Amino acid sequence: MRRLFAVNLIVLALMFPLAELTAQEHEEDHDHDHLHFSHPLVTESPSPDTKLRLDYIGTRISDQIGLHENVVRLEGEYAFNHSVSVSVVTPFVWRTAPSASRASGLGNIEVSLKAASLMFGDRGLLLGGGLSSTLPTGNDSKGIGSGHIVELEPFLDLGYRRNGLEFVGLARASSTFRRRAGEEVERTLAFDFSALYQLQSRLEGLIELTTERALFGPDAGLPRTSIAPGLKAFPFQNRQIMFGASVELGTGAIHETRALLLSGFYHF
């Protein structure tokens, strides 16, 4: 844990001065709408923001095991300025099937640091990246997260906005640490993409794609790809509150996987 804390401090120390300098260069620009991206549902937004988000995720895998799992996830994000934010995601998991594996409990808490460059903001382009850390707050005996493994996931992202159309791309590489004897190395490479279009002033449609593959082990090289169409609605004109729904459909090696995502956002 000390090493994890040190890594986060180093990343923060490197990113914060650059973000502060960029923000100062744009302090006279009071219209930041062209720099802010509407949050995708599955893919992470490239825009630092201050918000609360509550998700429900119901996952069903219709194979021989027949896994049914539900997650309620609370996220809080705080933006220090238009360039840097930190977020904490707390998941609570309960598994209802198969009957022999029924369990519930707190999953692994995720802490993330995100930074974005405003250099090309006037062109609708946002470049950034950051680091996510998954803390060992789960339970190995229940099969919900882990009580000892730490996961680090650096990522790079890009967002492009033009009129009512937004594109977001995210590349992330994860590695696990503090493994016990006999536990395999887990390293994965993943890419997320999102395309969003403003259908009406208070309604947005989006299509998202996620693909990841293991870099080590028996499943190395096999892509796990899913596609997720969704809708977002803003019930109030100030757009501080937003609701969204998305259906994630597995393809290829995970074609038996289906997931429903329901989200609520409150922006400060």
Cβ-proximal residues to 186 (8 Å cutoff; 6+ apart), any chain: 151, 174, 175, 176, 214, 216, 217
- What number of CA atoms fall less than 13 Å from residue 15's CA on the CB side? 24
Identify the pLDDT of residue 24. 42
Q: What integer best gives the mean pLDDT of the chain?
A: 88
**Is omega for the bond preceding 98 within 30 degrees of 0, making it cis?**
yes
Specify the number of domains making up the chain: 1
Model confidence band, residue 35 (pLDDT cutoffs 50, 70, 90): low
Q: What is the CATH number of the domain that holds 55?
A: 2.40.160.40
CA distance 49 to 42: 16
Handedness of CA 193, 202, 33, 263 (dihedral sign): negative
Domain that holds residue 34: 2-267
Q: What are residue 42's phi and psi, to 5 degrees?
A: -95, -45
The residues, ordered by sequence, that sit 6+ positions from 62 with a Cβ below 8 Å of its Cβ are: 256, 258
The span from the CA of 224 to the CA of 214, in Å, is: 9
Contacts of 259 (CB under 8 A, 6+ apart): 57, 58, 59, 60, 226, 228, 247, 248
What are the start-end ranges of the E strands in the chain?
Answer: 51-61, 67-79, 84-97, 103-106, 110-117, 125-134, 150-162, 165-177, 187-200, 203-214, 224-233, 241-252, 257-267
State pLDDT tens for residues 152-196.
Answer: 999 999 999 998 899 999 999 999 999 998 888 889 999 999 999
pLDDT in tens, 39-78: 999 999 999 999 999 999 999 999 888 999 999 999 999 9
pLDDT band at 118; cut points 50, 70, 90: confident
- More confident of the two residues 231 and 82: 231
How many residues are listed for the chain in this entry? 268
Of the CA atoms within 13 Å of residue 3, those in its CB half-sphere come to 6
CA-based R_g, the chain, Å: 19
Greatest Cα-to-Cα distance within the chain, rounded to the nearest angstrom: 61
Task: Collapse the DSSP code of 42 into the 3-class scheme (helix H, G, I; strand E, B; otherwise coil) and give the result.
Answer: coil
Task: Report the predicted TM-score, pTM, of the whole model to 2 decimal places.
Answer: 0.85
